Structure 1
C-alpha cells in the first residue's frame, strides 16, 4: 500500500483488542503478548475479560466496544500503562437478530457493535496516527460481509458495512501512514458459533450456524490470530483464513444471479436437514 509505513506486531508495540474475553480476540491478544507487544483487552463480559487479562498479563478495560466513552477509556489505559496506541483490533461482534423478525433494537445493536464501533474507534485514533505517520487498524468482519449470512440479515448487513468501512479507511488514509486489514473468515470455533446463534435465534439461528459449519472447516481461534498478525506484518488488506472464500467471492462477482440461485438451493438444503 503506497505511503503506508507498516506497523509491527512485536516487541514494544502497543495494541488494543476488543471482544477479547475469548475467541478470536483472546487469541489475538495471546499471540501479541507472546510476540512482545503490550496489550489492552476489552470486552463486555468483565469476569471472563479479567481472567484473560490476568492470564496474559494485559490491561483490562471492560465495557461496550461501541461506546465512545469505553473507546476513550481503552486508549487512555494504553497511554497510561504503555504509550500511544500503534494497533487497534476492532474485533468485538454480535450475531443477534434473525430474519425479518429482528426488531429495530436488534438492528441497532448489530450496526453499533459490528460497524459503528469500528467507525468510532477510527475517529478516535486515525487523526493521531496521521500526525505520527503510522498506525494500524484491523477490522474483524466476516465472510458474510463479502458474501451473505443465511438466516441473519442483521449480521450480513452490518458485516458488509464493516468491510465497506475498512476499504474506505484503507483508500482514504493509506497514503498517510495508516495501514488497514480486514479479517473475513467463515467458521471459527467461538462461543458465537457454538451456542450464540442457536440459543438467541431459535430455528433461524440453527440454520445460520449450520450455514457456517457446513460451508467449510471450522478453524481454531489461534490459527486465525496467527494469520492475522502475519498479514498485519506484511500490510495485507483482505485476510481470508478459509481459502474457499475468495473462490466464492469470484463466483459471486462473475455471475451474481447464478450465485443467488446457488445460495437459495443451499438454504433449502439447510432447512430440510435442520
Structure 2
C-alpha cells in the first residue's frame, strides 16, 4: 500500500545525526504533522528539532531523549508522542551501533549490539503496535543494513545483529501485514554518517565501503520513496540486490568470494 506523509505523526530513533536526522528532515519536508526526534544524545535531538522547527514552522517537532535498549524508555517515548499528537502513524526504528570487531569481541560488545541493533526494534514494536492494530493501520520502518542481507566481513557483532534485525522485520510483516501494518526494512551499504566515521576512527582504518558511500539525505529520500511504494525491502545501493541474488543462487560460491574480500580488507588493515 502506497502512502502519503501529509498529516502523519512520525517517530524517529537515532534522530540526532546521520540517517535518523535526515529522515526527520525528510518527513518534515514531506508534510508530516508531527516529527518526534528521539536519541540517546538529548542535546543533539533538541538541536535537530530546533532546526526543523525553524525551517518548517508548520510542522510540530518534539525532542525526546531515549535509550532504545531500554524497553521502558521506548514505551515512554511512544506514550509521550501519543499524548502530544494523539497517535503515532510511522515509527522509524533507526538507532544502531557499529564496532569493527571479530567474534572474540568482549561479551559486553556483543550484548550492546544485541540490545541496540535488535531488541530496540522489538521494544518499538511492542510499544507502538497496540495502537496501530487498534486503528487497523500503521507503518514500521526498521533500519537494518546490507550487512543483514550479506555480511560485514570485518564486524562480527554488527553483521550478526543486523541479520537478526532483518529477520525480525520479516516476522513483523508476516505476523501483522494482513492487519494493516506495513513494514519496511532499510538496508543501505556505506553511508557517510558519524557512526561510520567513528568506526573508522576506532579501528584506525577507513571502511572498505567508503568509495560507494551515500550521503544520509540520499538514503532518507530512498526510504520515503520505498514507503510511498509500499516496499518491504528498501535498498539505496542498487547493487545490493544483485549481490543478494548471487548469494541465494550459489551460497558456497558467494562465501568463497566473501572470504577473498575479507582477506583483502584485513590485509589492507595490516
Shorter-chain TM-score range: over 0.9
How do residues 97-246 of structure 1 correspond to structure 2 at under 5 angstroms? 98-194=101-197, 196-200=198-202, 202=203, 206=205, 209-214=206-211, 217-246=212-241
Give the C-alpha shift of residue 236 in structure 1. 0.5
**Which shifted more, 21-30 or 54-63?**
54-63
Give the C-alpha shift of residue 133 in structure 1. 0.6
Root mean square deviation, CA, Å: 1.4
The count of aligned residue pairs is 261
- Is 1:69 the counterpart of 2:63 in the alignment? no
The structure 1 segments of at least 4 consecutive aligned residues displaced by more than 6 Å after TM superposition are none
Structure showing greater relative contact order (alpha-carbon pairs closer than 8 Å, 6 or more residues apart): 1
SS of equivalent residue, structure 1 residue 54: helix
TM-score, normalised by the number of residues in structure 2: 0.92
- Is 1:256 the counterpart of 2:256 in the alignment? no
- Is 1:56 the counterpart of 2:58 in the alignment? no
SS of equivalent residue, structure 1 residue 92: coil
Q: What stretches of structure 1 of length at least 5 have no aligned partner?
A: none
TM-score, normalised by the number of residues in structure 1: 0.91
CA distance in 2: counterparts of 1:103 and 1:69, whole angstroms? 26
CA distance in 2: counterparts of 1:8 and 1:18, whole angstroms? 21
Give the C-alpha shift of residue 7 in structure 1. 4.6
Give the C-alpha shift of residue 266 in structure 1. 1.2
Q: Deviations over 1:47-69 (max 9, x none)?
A: 22111111112211112112122
The answer as to whether partners of 2:142 and 2:184 remain within 8 angstroms in 1 is yes
Q: Deviations over 1:83-121 (max 9, x none)?
A: 100000000000026102311111111011011000111
Q: Deviations over 1:165-210 (max 9, x none)?
A: 000101110000000000000011101112x21333x35xx3xx52
The answer as to whether partners of 2:103 and 2:157 remain within 8 angstroms in 1 is no
Q: What stretches of structure 2 of length at least 5 have no aligned partner?
A: 54-60
SS of equivalent residue, structure 2 residue 87: coil
